[in-house]
Structure 1
């Protein structure tokens, strides 16, 4: 058994989320190792207490009423690197490790693969749950396996292969369920210091390369951070545009036959005769521009990117969901396309 997990003095959850909304938990506990995480989860389950796990709090909207039971802040940290027989590098990471700090460390160590995922807030353990992706790269491209705590059996399951996680577009079998807790994550990275192939056209333009080319990983990281900052997607306490969950809506994927007949609507092919549409384009062309405010002005679309709903100060979860509902309904009315929220909604619904 590890050290005793630390209780947190305040029970408020808003300070532990990037959106800065959410009421209190009955109890708030911090765990700094995988063993402590397991200890807290087992104790809560044995007592029949509800449990909420929070990593970086970057992809969650918590109800203003708060949550019953225990909220567990996952603060385990650290990572190791070891060579693989085929020449790759295996990086093993504790679930609570800050994601962008990990990306910076791997790039600094001459490893490539994660650089296009720079600047994304949150913890490493959350990345396979959401199958986090950006600028043409997603976790599914790099993930080897995860260690899970299975709440049904009370046992730790080491080395669960990525192939068993049902990784899809911003989704996995771990999302929207609470019976498996990520303790540790492993990635296979490139040891030659080059980036993953640059697939995203905007990033390729900034780097001055053709799509499919590779570049030094530090160059790709710098370009991605520049693009994200320009869209208010890199956390900055002084910039309210970054008081958000990042992209609030996923890009809708619809059957080819259901694509709206609208001039200029961008689209990309997806699997099974379906098409991916850009949520940002749909939102903007439904009449919701940058900075569009909710009534009262405490919450608004980011002034830099319409996909982000930002807390301008004093905003509540109810304010966020009210604006999200207005945007969703406006897009549906204008284009007949339904937008789905990307963050996990805790104790609330859209």
Structure 2
């Protein structure tokens, strides 16, 4: 595998990508046997994705794997590229809704919790942290050590890697504000049809190369769930390797602060989240805030706060959350999301955009 730092984000090739994954050609038995020899008991067949989604809904994955190290990640992506096995990589699943039909091929969850704190020659203190690391756990441990920078994410249940893809934030701060650079496994070449095999490449990007904006980075371009003209929610397109650029490591600026002050911030942030977020199963906010407005207020103005359809409900705490009161399906949740968007458009003349991702068939 090549290891380079590119000067820009130029396209890999003009060759068209795979239009569709031929899941019928995926030999589950052969892939499972091969992967079990490599990953052992961390490989599962017909895994219920509801167990890995904050909403607790979704069908099954043909094969499920937990990936713990960078070398395992690189090896898995390279193997799937060589064998043409469809692969979907996820973090904690805190912002994903899986379809009732599930995901064909392989779904791999990136875990692994590893970080280092280094003093740079220019005087900066830089945290190097693996993308699969839990944001709340990291914020808590750094606070105890007297290092601030990521404490605002104590209530964000996702991983750091997923956090930078959507430039996640809370309490008027965003991850991009403290980011220096990221290391990425670039598998875009693996998604291009052709006779020659293209293996993934390691790349490093500075934050200025990521087009960071509100709940957005360039990694989301073409990889977001959107509404069609009939207001139906379309799943994120799934090429052979998805996502095609996989965040492996983040470099984040830290600053020193007393552990007492940092722990007080954590308690304050946690209390604020506790007062706003629902008690039942839920993802993050369903919709992005439109410029200069709050999605929760628009939904409330449309009369949807506390509104129920079967066992799914618009939260009566914050109308930009949906809760699964038990037994709901993905179809139930999507129906409620569509109704929320329709009523906001009718009442407020605003077309809300999704903040969550729909994944699967």
Classify the TM-score, shorter chain.
Answer: 0.7 to 0.9
Of 146, 166, 175, the residue aligned with 1:110 is 146
Other-structure match for 2:303? 287
Other-structure match for 2:78: 42
2:288 to 232, 241, 250: 250
Contact preservation (8 Å) 1:54, 1:71: yes
- Asked if 1:306 is matched to 2:319, the reply is yes
SS of alignment partner, residue 189 of structure 1: strand
1:158 Cα offset (Å): 4.2
Match of 1:4? 38
Deviation sequence 1:48-91 (CA, Å, 0-9, x none): 22221121100111101001110001112211111233433211
Counterparts of residues 56-205 of structure 1 (less than 5 Å): 56-151=92-187, 152=189, 153-175=198-220, 176=223, 178-193=243-258
Equivalent position of 2:352 in the other structure: 339
Runs of 4+ in 1 over 4 A off after TM superposition: none
TM-score scaled to structure 1, two decimals? 0.80
- Structure 1: distance between partners of 2:107 and 2:126: 31
Corresponding residue number in structure 2 for 1:270:
none
Q: Deviations over 1:99-119 (max 9, x none)?
A: 110111111111112122211
Gap runs ≥5 in structure 2: 2-36, 190-197, 224-241
Q: d(CA) in 2 for partners of 1:157 and 1:41? A: 12
Distance 1:30 1:217 in 2: 32
Distance change (3 Å), C-alpha of 1:9 and 1:108: farther
Deviation per CA, 1:201-241, whole angstroms, max 9, x where unpaired?
Answer: xxxxxxxxxxxxxx9322222111000011126xxxxx31x
Q: Per-residue deviation at 1:134? A: 0.9
Q: How far apart, in 1, do the equivalents of 2:258 and 2:172 lie?
A: 18
Query: In 1, Cα distance between the equivalents of 2:56 and 2:295?
Result: 24
Once the two structures are superposed, what CA deviation does each residue of 1:125-150 show, in whole Å capped at 9, x if it has no partner? 11110100111110110111111111
CA distance in 2, matches of 1:130, 1:38: 22
Contact 1:252 1:277 in 2 (8 A): yes
Query: Partners in 1 of 2:112 and 2:207 — Cα distance?
Result: 21
SS in 1 for 2:108: strand
**Larger deviation, residues 180-189 vs 83-92:** 83-92
Secondary structure of 1:168 counterpart: coil
CA contact (8 A) 2:68 2:111 kept: yes
The unaligned stretches of length 5 or more in structure 1 are 195-214, 234-238, 254-275
**CA separation in 1, counterparts of 2:124 and 2:76?**
35
Contact kept? 1:24, 1:65, Cα under 8 Å: yes
Alignment correspondent of 2:272: 227
Task: Name the Cα RMSD after superposition.
Answer: 2.0
Q: Is it true that 1:218 corresponds to 2:263 in the alignment?
A: yes
Q: Distance in 2 between matches of 1:11 and 1:93?
A: 29
Q: How many residues align?
A: 295
